[in-house]
Amino acid sequence: MLAVQKKSTENPSIFRRSAKLMGDHFEISVVGKDAIWANQRIESAVNEINRVDKLLSTFVDDSIINEINRNAGIKSVKVSAEVYHLIDRSLQISELTHGTFDISYFTNSGNNNSVTCAGYKNVVLNAKTSTVFLTEKNMRIGFGANSRGYAADRAKYILQMEGVANGVINAGGDLLTWGLQPNLEPWTIATADETQSLQPYADLVISNMAFATSTNADGYVSLTRKNNLNTSATGFVVSDIKSVSIVSPCAEFADAMASPILSIGINNGLYLINQLNQVGCIVVDDHSRVYTSKDIRLVN
């Protein structure tokens, strides 16, 4: 973990800290005048991200997600309101994308460790009892495709509650911003993440928005980065798309939607995004041509 700047400033400055969280590189930036204050706020954000990681982890034996998975095909499991609503929102995204996004999967009980889609309709929620039931014995759920976005949303909420009016959370290249830069200019892709300054959409304004990207490696959609796509572990050809970026007020939603749009193709993906309020999409094809949804205008 890199230490935040120690010097306090008379004028607002950006104070940053980088850390490995949730198995990925995070950078948390807050705008302020005092380094001690900024460091304390960033620490609160880091603690919240770690809390979400533990809550949703399948690597922690006593996590609620593992309890749900252990009881697949056996009984319902009572969960907190936070977990219940996260699962509920995930199922709504599955419905929106016709199952292309899916937090459910089957594990192979044999020697083959393959993973296949279980079908989100086999996840049964009961709002009255706040319970979750997986109807099939070898069925599991996981949040690899939207957990980082949710953690970023939660960290932003904590920072705002502690008085941080302007900042950026960079979660492995996916961005969540609020407020303005110290010079009172809005955040753009490039100012929020300098490593993306050469992208064709680098000057896109994303203040108070989330920006998440999914890439197509070697012409295939993979389950490794933004997993939980409705496809086999080896992927399937979508060679006409290089990357998809989603702009949304919510990092959880942006994170969840990037790979489904990547998988269903340019025309279908843009059509779907154009039906949604306050959501935008940028698609780059394998010839580096850029396509945008109706509400995004890029400066040439």
Instruction: Find the range with the poorest average confidence among 12-16, 114-118, 184-188, 214-218.
Output: 114-118
Do 264 and 204 reside in the same domain of the chain? yes
Confidence at residue 297, expressed as pLDDT on a 0 to 100 scale: 84
Nearest to 256 by CA among 144, 178, 173, 142: 144
Nearest to 86 by CA among 125, 112, 128: 125
Confidence at residue 260, expressed as pLDDT on a 0 to 100 scale: 93
62 vs 15: which has the higher pLDDT: 15
Confidence at residue 118, expressed as pLDDT on a 0 to 100 scale: 65
Is 178 within 8 Å of 193 (Cβ atoms)?
no
**In 3-state terms, the chain is what percent helix, strand and coil (to 5)?**
30, 25, 40
Local confidence band at 15 (pLDDT 50, 70, 90 cut-offs):
very high
Do 132 and 190 reside in the same domain of the chain? no
Strands (E), 22-64: 24-32
Confidence at residue 113, expressed as pLDDT on a 0 to 100 scale: 56
> Domain containing 28 — which CATH number?
3.10.520.10
Q: Determine the Cα angle at 272 with ends 270 and 273, to 5°.
A: 65
Q: Whole-prediction pTM value?
A: 0.87
Full domain range(s) for residue 185? 13-43+165-292
Instruction: Please tell me the total count of domains within the chain.
Output: 2
> Domain containing 100 — which CATH number?
1.10.3980.10
